[in-house]
Amino acid sequence: MKIVVIGTGYVGLPHAAVLSEYGHEVHAYDIDETRIAAYQSGDADNIERYVNEPGLADIVAENVNRYLHFTTDISSVVEDTDVLFLCINTPPNRDGSTDMSYYLAAIHHLGELLAQRASKRRVVLVNKSTVPIGTARMLESVMIDHGVENFGVASNPEFLAQGSAVEGSRRPDRIVIGADTAEDMQILRRVYSQFVNHVRIRYLETTPETAEAIKYVSNTLLLTYISFWNGVGARLAEAMPNIRMEDLKIGVTADARISTWGSYVSNGAGGSCFGKDIQSLIYQLNRAGRSTDLLRAVYGINEYQKVYLIDRAIHEAQFNFNHKSVALLGLSFKKRTNDMRDSAALRVAESLLSRGVGVVRAYDPLAMDEARRNWFNPDKNHLFERITYHESAVEAMQGSDALYISTDWEEFRGLARTIEKTVKPPYLVMDGRRMLPDYEMLVAAGYDYLPVGGLLMRGERNPDGSRHDAQSAQDAIMQPALA
């Protein structure tokens, strides 16, 4: 089939690449010429500057100019197209509604082009972006207004998790198709033929409005799980002694009715979906005159969680951030991606700097270029002039007074020994992801440790205020096991 994917970001590029793997003729369109040139080059470094997903650059390089083609001229590829997937940015407005300006500009331009087709071949326009419920109807109306003939509209929401988008596209847990006619359903079955009647993958055909709602309810429920564990489980372990967070999760989720997903505690969920989607759903329900108390509570807990450890550091550890240097490890909203959209690290940096921190020393394995280019922009916020960028966790920690771990990169799990070699107590470690399994050794060596979902642990000191010897600290930890 001939397929056009409009938009080549974190949704569009993986979708286009994996469709090309299945032998479809895929044309990926974007208005950004430098982005398209990077993809067209097939070079991994160029591709990953824009979308960094494990395995994605390999698929693009293997299929470019064979089954996968990139263009900045949409008019050159709409003729004889079977399916057009709309993967267009729909960011939130300040009031929680969805900014549809990019989407509307794209579909009006598309309507003009489709109305001029020489061929009247059936074409299905599919919303892949997360858009307000009822958008498929609006898309249909716009096409009719432009005089487009022989077309259908559908909703086919994506449920990809960043960092595993390729695997999620190849082996999805579900395919949801919302369309009105049997003809359009059949066309989309051909697109996803490998998943129809699959023994494991749920293939659901429904109305466009139901498909649109499935995306919103799914993301909102996932954020509710996360906010519950942060707002209840973590608070219990932070307020009451002798509660073991990991044991609490195991004991509660042993009940088959309770999901294990989201049972971790963290410094809040970020990314392009959760916060945006729950705000949009609140807006849509308010417009319909329905209560949104639960959704507002979920969103509020998640947002406060992003800066909660800093408040705890001030009130529980009596840490004075004024003029201090703080190492911030992890800038992306989760591991295995360079995406910083709605990352907790953004709120952490803003909060630290607004509390008088002299310098934030930032490091992330993948997101450094993204941070410099798009996020920590001094022109937008003068506080960001006090952010410096570093090539490793060690370099970021050098000369710092405290450490904040914001992203769950695996390389941060072994930091305890590195911390001890790089900085000396008194020193505060704020662990927003519970990444340090050997934190007891740090505490025994004199470091203060403040984890999400746990009590503040004060570093042990000698009577003269000096830190314990590192080897003695290790021996003290190991002694109970040897006894």
Active site residues: 273
Residue 329's identity, in one-letter code, is L
Cα first-last separation, the chain: 69
Q: What's the CA gap between 245 and 452, in Å, rounded?
A: 10
**Packing angle, helices 101-115 and 135-145, rounded to 10:** 40
Q: For residues 235 and 224, give the distance between their C-alpha atoms in angstroms, rounded to a whole number.
A: 16
Residue type, position 350, single letter: E
Residues 328/396, Cβ–Cβ less than 8 Å: yes
User: 3-class SS at 356?
Assistant: coil
Q: What is the DSSP letter of 374?
A: I
Q: Tell me the helices (H) and strands (E) count for the chain, helix number first.
A: 19, 14
Task: Dig out the tokens for 331 from the structure.
Answer: 């800038």
In whole angstroms, give the CA distance from residue 410 to residue 290: 43
Strands lying side by side in the sheet with 202-206 = 68-71, 25-29, 2-6, 83-86, 123-127, 151-155, 174-179, 202-206
d(CA 390, CA 330): 11
Query: DSSP assignment of 193-224, as one string?
Result: TTTTT-SSSEEEEE-HHHHHHHHHHHHHHHHH
